[in-house]
Structure 1
Amino acid sequence: MPSLYEWYRNDEVVSDESTHFIENVNRLDSGEYNCTATNEFYDNTNSSGHDVAYLDVQYPPSVKDGQIVCKEGDAITLTCEVDANPAPSSYTWTKDERELSSESSYNIPAVDRSDSGDYICTATNVYMTAQKRVIVVRLKLTSSVSMILYLVMIWTGSNT
């Protein structure tokens, strides 16, 4: 009887070869790997003492741009959500090239007109620096402001 092999990643069979080869390793290949072998003299498939190898695939930060719509007076939190391994060692929030925070999130307790604009979150790990752009847009207006804008538009339109 020839030897039979099974390679597992996170308790799921990934190969039945004596050697498991991963071509073009990516972040989804991370996990615990172990192999079982069976032949006519030995069967270790039911053994609990398997040697386990852990594959830790590392990669630079990747971030997504975002947009927040709010109204004046709202409290908002800008969060820099980063996919990276290892995790970022530093964060920097900036607006108009001015540094605001070195945390992964930035709070604005009460939004006002001066808070509109582009906020940049920079996340850095040992491999690379990546940036996320969050645009804070104030579109929701109170009813009195909406009415004033509406009247101004009618008045301007009637003079043309």
Structure 2
Amino acid sequence: MRSEVTEGQTITISCTVESFPQSTLTLMRINTNNQAEIIPEENLYSRPINSLYHTFTVTSADAGWYVCRAQNTEGSKNSKQKELVVKYKPRKTSISVSGSSDNQVKVGGSLTLTCDTDANPAPTTYSWSRSKNQQTDSWWKNTNRRELSLTIQRADEACYRCSSSNLIGGGDKSQPVCIQVLSCL
């Protein structure tokens, strides 16, 4: 079972058990390392008996599998795990460069810029822009590919930025990556 939510939503996870004698309930999240993290009691509400509720505003760190454990003098039992999938717009956007280790390339050379970002779901659109002398020129490109491949011409000497968007929204622009075009001798 899985539930999908958007980062920033307020949700409630509840656990209920029928038992005699009364059970102590524990809510746990299974993290990415497959370790159980117990949700602290100060974040839980226990009413009525044999029930607990955890209400919180979701961040991407809350994604994972949740399970409740009921324990009494007769033993303990875990509920079925339920997956919480957290969707969020692109963030931590940056550009990586291949084809040059120092962002310098000769005319006629090849260069690939890759727009890297953290997003769920994955971006559907990438936007590229370039600026020269701190002036954004009319060059920009919207694409569904995260790579921008260039066969370098003199006019390609500029600072490039990328951004992306997914079904949740648009992300921030990357820091600029400046390319220096070297003349052939």
Are the aligned partners of 1:4 and 1:16 in contact in 2 as well (CA < 8 Å)? no
Cα distance in structure 1, aligned partners of 2:23 and 2:156: 68
After superposing on structure 2, the runs of 4+ consecutive aligned residues of structure 1 that deviate more than 6 Å are none
More helix by share: 1
2:95/2:162 contact within 8 Å kept: no
Pairwise mapping of residues 95-110 of structure 1 onto structure 2 (< 5 A)? Answer: 95=130, 96-100=137-141, 102=143, 103-109=145-151
Instruction: Tell me the equivalent position of 2:105.
Output: 71
**Deviation readout 1:4-32 (Å, 9 max, x if unpaired):** 33322124132365535253321111111
RMSD: 3.0
Structure index of larger Rg = 1
Secondary structure of the 2:61 match is: helix
What secondary structure is seen at the aligned counterpart in 1 of 2:122?
A: coil
AA at the equivalent of 2:28: Y
Size of the alignment, in residue pairs?
138
> Gaps spanning 5+ residues in structure 1: where?
146-160
User: 2:96, 2:113 within 8 Å by CA — same for their partners in 1?
Assistant: no
Query: 1:104 and 1:15 mapped to 2: Cα distance?
Result: 38
- Percent identical among aligned pairs is 25
Asked if residue 24 in structure 1 is aligned to residue 57 in structure 2, the reply is yes
Cross-structure match for 1:154: none
2:26 paired residue number: 6
Instruction: Compare the two structures and name the one with the higher strand fraction.
Output: 2
2:81 maps to 1:52? yes
- Counterpart amino acid of residue 84 in structure 1: A
Structure 1 residue 124: Cα displacement: 1.2
Residue in 2 aligned with 1:156?
Answer: none
